[in-house]
Each structure stands twice: as C-alpha cells, then as structure tokens.
Amino acid sequence: MDPYLPPVARHVREREPLIDVQNLTKVYDLGRGRTVQALDGVDLHVPQGQVFGILGRSGAGKSTLLRCVNLLERPTSGSVRVDGQDMTALRGAALRRARRGIGMIHQHFALLSSRTVAGNVAFPLEVMGTPRAQRARRVAELLDVVGLGDRGGSYPAQLSGGQKQRVGIARALAAGPKVLLSDEATSALDPETTGSILDLLRRLNRELGLTVLLITHEMGVIKRVCDSAAVMHDGRFLESGPLPELLAAPDSRLADALFPLPTVDLPGVVTLSYAERATEPVLSALTREFDVDVNILAGTVETVAGAPYGRLKVQLTGERTAEALEYLRARGLAVRTAGDPLAADGAEPTGEGA
Ligand SMILES: Nc1ncnc2c1ncn2[C@@H]1O[C@H](COP(=O)(O)OP(=O)(O)OP(=O)(O)O)[C@@H](O)[C@H]1O
C-alpha cells in the first residue's frame, strides 16, 4: 500500500473486502438454444484473513463461482474484484499475473504424476521464471510448511491422499498468493485426514494471513474452519455472513443444515439456539419465574468457529409461555416456535453431512 495516501483513502482501501463479487451471473450456452443459469446474481464479500465457506448441493453453482473468482470461467455479467483489481477487465499476461495472487487446490489434487513432489511444487515457479537456486530454497520451505520436508523426492503415486493434498497446497502457495481457493479439497479424503488438512488450512490462514475461499458439500468443513459462510442453491446465496450471526438467526437455514433436529409433532414445541451461553440456568428460570414446564426433546452442543453453540428443541407448557419466550429472546437466545416460517420454499439447500 502507498504509505503517502491520505488517511481517509487508506481507511477506505483497508475496508474493501479482499474478494468482492457483485451481482455475478453465469449462463452456459448448451447449444440449440438451450442454456443453464449456473449463477444468478451472487454477491460475495470476503474480508482479508477470513476463511469463507460456501455450502451447497451438487449443481448449486459452487464450482462455477469459484472459477469465476480467478477468471478460469468468465462471468456473463457482474464484477469480480480481488485485492482491489477488477479481474474481468484483465486478459492474457495481465490475467496470468493477477492469478499468481490466487492459489487453488482441487478435490483430486491435480498433480503431475511424472514429476516428483518437489517437481510439482516447483512447477509454478518455473513458469514464473524463478531462478533455480531460489526455486529450490522456496520448494524446501514450502514442503516444510505443509509437513512434507522429507518427501521431496517421492512421486505422487507413492503418497497417501492427505499427503497429495499437502503437495497441492504447497504448489498453490508457491507464488505467495494472498487468496487460496479450495475446490472440495477434502471430499476425497477420510474424516481424520480431512481434519488434518483443514487444520493445516487454518494454520496457514492464521500464520500467513491467507484468505481462504472454500466450497464444500460437507457440514463438518464449515463447522471446523470457517469464519463466515454462505448457503448456495440454484445459483443463488440463500444466506451469507459471519457464522455466529447466521447461526443466531431464528430461521437460519445454515443452523438447520449444521445442527439438524428431529421434527416433533407436539404442541408448544420451540427451537432454541444460543452461543456462548449455558442454557441450564435460563431454562430453570422459566420454571421458577414463569411457572412454565420445560421438556427437552432433542439437542446438540458443539464448538463452531472456536465458540460453543447449542440448539435445543423443547416443549413448553404453562399459561405464561409467551412471556417465557420473550424472556429467552431478551437474553439473546434465538427462538423459533412452530408457527414461525421455516425454509420458505422447503428447499433443502445442502448436501450430506461430514
Ligand atoms: N462447462 C459447463 N457447461 C455447461 N453447463 C455447466 C458447465 N459447468 C457447470 N455447468 C452447469 O452449471 C450448474 C452449476 O454447476 P457447478 O459445477 O458450478 O455446481 P456445483 O455446486 O459446483 O456442483 P458439484 O459439486 O457437483 O460440482 C449445473 O447445472 C451444471 O450442470
């Protein structure tokens, strides 16, 4: 950043999201007059240093969106800015240069089987014309970062899936990007390996200030690493924002997807969501102060984005139930009663759990 910018301009620049996508559409032409609208007015704002997850079922448009961010796919309309640069305005060499600031990892790793691990990581540096000695130093450094310091001479076929993805990550980081795009990077891995790759991404995010935009159909990925998330369906975001805010909304589809509770067909059933708050004293207060009986039907408590989050389905009975619900709302709990609108069109926006 230019240190001589006046303070106001500097402030404005710092506030601009690192990835700023506005009103993006993508229509694929299938020929014979047939088209598919893969993106339908997507707004995506990812602040620097965040891990942002996009959750959606197959066909929701996740890959198309990711590929529009680095212009592997050219959007039909709308704007894509990455690190202040209008990506859609770039072509040829200028676009290739801008892409160096955006690393990408893939579900099936996309490694070159004829090259060693070190050769794979060195590949983007060769393309950039990095001198040999500098290249060797950088490759060694990157392999250390991903925990493969001793595997530089191995070939991809000799590695486990998790190790291959670590090579993919090292290669994606070779040019020193500010942004890492992750295209279902853990979908082909078992749960334990998935966890270790997600932890690595989190560490890179924290230690290098790397901004990560990932797409997934796995709930566990969102819970484990994301600061913010969006739920995508039919080329649109149904909801997006910081995870704690999304989960705190009484009608959050993300909360329904991440913490599903069984349907219970009883009178007086209420769904309560809370963050960083123990429910026990709150629920016992309902009985004490409002003479309301509380019957816990189902519930879950987990850590999300490093903070405790819980959801309960309870049955409340008593004359003063309405007052009791107000009491809960006043204490910051999200309260959804059976009469509240749920997912408006009944769409199940997300895929299978992790
Ligand atoms: N190159 C293409 N040509 C034509 N249609 C495409 C193309 N790529 C994607 N589509 C269509 O666009 C829609 C969105 O696809 P996309 O791959 O972006 O979804 P996705 O959420 O990433 O799904 P998946 O997880 O299965 O990859 C789908 O209907 C798909 O068939």
Task: For the chain, 354 residues long, give each residue's pLDDT as a single digit of tens.
Answer: 444 444 444 444 446 799 999 999 999 999 999 999 999 999 999 999 999 999 999 999 999 999 999 999 999 999 999 999 999 999 999 999 999 999 999 999 999 999 999 999 999 999 999 999 999 999 999 999 999 999 999 999 999 999 999 999 999 999 999 999 999 999 999 999 999 999 999 999 999 999 999 999 998 899 899 999 999 999 999 999 999 888 888 888 888 888 888 888 888 899 998 876 656 678 888 899 999 999 999 998 888 877 788 899 999 999 999 999 999 998 888 898 876 544 333 334 344 333
Tally: H helices and E strands in the chain:
12, 14
Q: Are 55 and 257 in contact (CB under 8 A)?
A: yes
* pLDDT at res. 10: 40
Q: Tokens 């230019």, residue? A: 2
Q: Are 54 and 246 in contact (CB under 8 A)?
A: no
Distance (Å) from CA 59 to ligand 1 centroid: 5
CB of residue 53 inside a 6 A radius of ligand 1: no
Which amino acid makes up residue 344?
A
The three-point CA angle 332-335-338 to 5° equals 175
Instruction: Give which of 196, 195, 182, 236 is closest to 51, Cα–Cα.
Output: 182
Q: What is the atom index within ligand 1 of the atom nearest the CA of 67?
A: 18
Query: Is residue 82 within a helix (H) or strand (E), and if so which, with residue range?
Result: strand 77-82
Q: Give me the phi and psi of 119, to 5 degrees please.
A: -65, -35
CB of residue 38 inside a 6 A radius of ligand 1: yes
Query: Is residue 93 within a helix (H) or strand (E), and if so which, with residue range?
Result: helix 92-99
Please name the residue whose Cα sits nearest to atom 28 of ligand 1.
Answer: 59
Q: What is the ipTM of this complex?
A: 0.97
Distance (Å) from CA 61 to ligand 1 centroid: 6
Distance (Å) from CA 217 to ligand 1 centroid: 14
Please name the residue whose Cα sits nearest to atom 29 of ligand 1.
Answer: 59
Rounded distance, CA 155 to CA 248, Å? Answer: 47
* pLDDT at res. 88: 95
* pLDDT at res. 317: 93
Q: Check: CATH 2.60.40.420 for 259-337? A: no
Instruction: Give which of 153, 154, 54, 66 is closest to 106, Cα–Cα.
Output: 66
Output the CA–CA distances (angstroms, integers) from residue 283 to 291, 297, 300, in the order listed.
Answer: 11, 13, 15
> 16-244 falls under which CATH superfamily?
P-loop containing nucleotide triphosphate hydrolases (3.40.50.300)
Please name the residue whose Cα sits nearest to atom 31 of ligand 1.
Answer: 59
Q: What is the atom index within ligand 1 of the atom nearest the CA of 63?
A: 22
* pLDDT at res. 2: 43
Q: Tokens 């676009």, residue? A: 95
What is the pTM for the complete model shown? 0.86
* pLDDT at res. 15: 60
Domain boundaries along the sequence of the chain = 16-244, 259-337
Rounded distance, CA 273 to CA 259, Å? Answer: 10
* pLDDT at res. 13: 43
Q: DSSP of 228-245, one letter per residue?
A: EEEEEETTEEEEEEEHHH
CB of residue 263 inside a 6 A radius of ligand 1: no
CB of residue 56 inside a 6 A radius of ligand 1: yes
Instruction: Give which of 177, 149, 147 is closest to 70, Cα–Cα.
Output: 177
Q: Tokens 């903070």, residue? A: 307
* pLDDT at res. 340: 58
Rounded distance, CA 112 to CA 119, Å? Answer: 9
Joined together, the tokens standing for residue 341 give: 């609108």
CB of residue 64 inside a 6 A radius of ligand 1: yes
Which amino acid makes up residue 111?
L
